[in-house]
Amino acid sequence: MSASSTDIAEQAAEWLIQLSDESSADTQAAFARWQQADPRHAQAVEQMQGLIGQLEGFQHASTPAHAALKAGMTPSKRRHKAKPIAGALFTLLALCLPVWIALQHYPLDYLMADISTSTAEWKSQTLADNTHITLNSNSAVDVEFDQHQRVLRLVQGEILVDVAKDAARPFVVKTEHGSITALGTRFVVSHHDHATALAMLESKVMVNSGLADHAAGTLVTQGQSVVFQQDGVGSISTIDADSLNDAWKLHQLVVQDQPLSDVLAILSRHRRGHIQFNPDELHAYRVTAVLPLDNTDHALQLLADSLPLSVRSYTPWFVLVDPHP
């Protein structure tokens, strides 16, 4: 009566496992006798010991070996069951993600605006009344002109406005934070999340915070800038109107003693990729510089040259900026 190969394998395995825990002389001797009884016994043992030996050979690097074996094995059946759901979720995510990213980057207001620019795009346009506007990167405006007034609604980003004279119809730039009534002027309006900033290049405007048009506003004249929110107009500071004029002509960013995090946020708007930074870590650094907006790589390099920063770019689409350790 001869044992089947499965029986032999099972016996061989039992011997090896028993010996791997305790190996008294008696057990060893019994095991030797069993091996000698049939050449197939010894063969099975040899094969199993070969595999065990291979595994034991990796004991010095067990962690990488575990990882490698895991990578080499297809997931077990239980995980297969979860796959359709995971697959569906993934598909859903893959379908929704572009939309989500687009809405993050370009909110609905922006997508529906009358005039808009995308990242790293500048656009100049003459409106019906001969007013000349230039949109900075990632900006959007709605034009609402009628017989009584000319309203430019800045939805996002930054514009340079060169207002054409029209005594009958006042020219007003509105943002969610308030309004700027032009009195024949050239100025820049920047829309930020929490506030709107105004820089006067020529002549003067009247600024009203909030959405209602108050009779008495704040007068801002050439060479001055001001930041306003819905609940009030901040104090007036001075700017260099000439260099700001040049900046718009040459697509530069002129900053005077501004927090680095604000500057990076502006550069980020001009960049197709993402600039990652922690505002809290960088708030202490202040920047006074003229930076090229059409070449943000160069702008980042200029910042890194003058400040203790590390600028690491992983792909053209992802740059990480943090303070030098």
CB of 10 to another protein, least distance (A): 5
- Nearest-10 Cα torsion for 289, 291, 296, 297: -70
Q: By C-beta, is 17 or 284 nearer to another protein?
A: 17
Residue 225 backbone zone (phi > 0: left; psi -120 to 50: alpha; other: beta): beta
CB of 7 to another protein, least distance (A): 10
CB of 52 to another protein, least distance (A): 5
- Of 13 and 284, nearer to another protein (C-beta) is 13
**With respect to another protein, which residue has the nearer C-beta, 48 or 302?**
48
Q: Is the CB of 4 or the CB of 104 nearer to another protein?
A: 4
Tell me whether residue 15 or residue 277 sits nearer to another protein (CB atom).
Answer: 15
Q: In angstroms, what CA-CA distances link 123 with 30, 207, 248? A: 91, 25, 11
Strand partners, 226: 198
> What whole-number distance in Å separates Cα of residue 134 and Cα of residue 142?
13
Cβ at position 41, least distance to another protein in Å: 12
Binding stretches for another protein (CB under 8 A):
5-6, 9-10, 12-14, 16-18, 20-21, 44, 47-48, 51-52, 54-59, 61-74, 76
- The CB-of-67 to another protein minimum distance in angstroms stands at 4
Q: Angle between the 39-56 and 25-37 helix axes, to the nearest 10 degrees?
A: 120
Task: Quote the CA–CA distance of 107 and 272 in Å, as a whole number.
Answer: 16
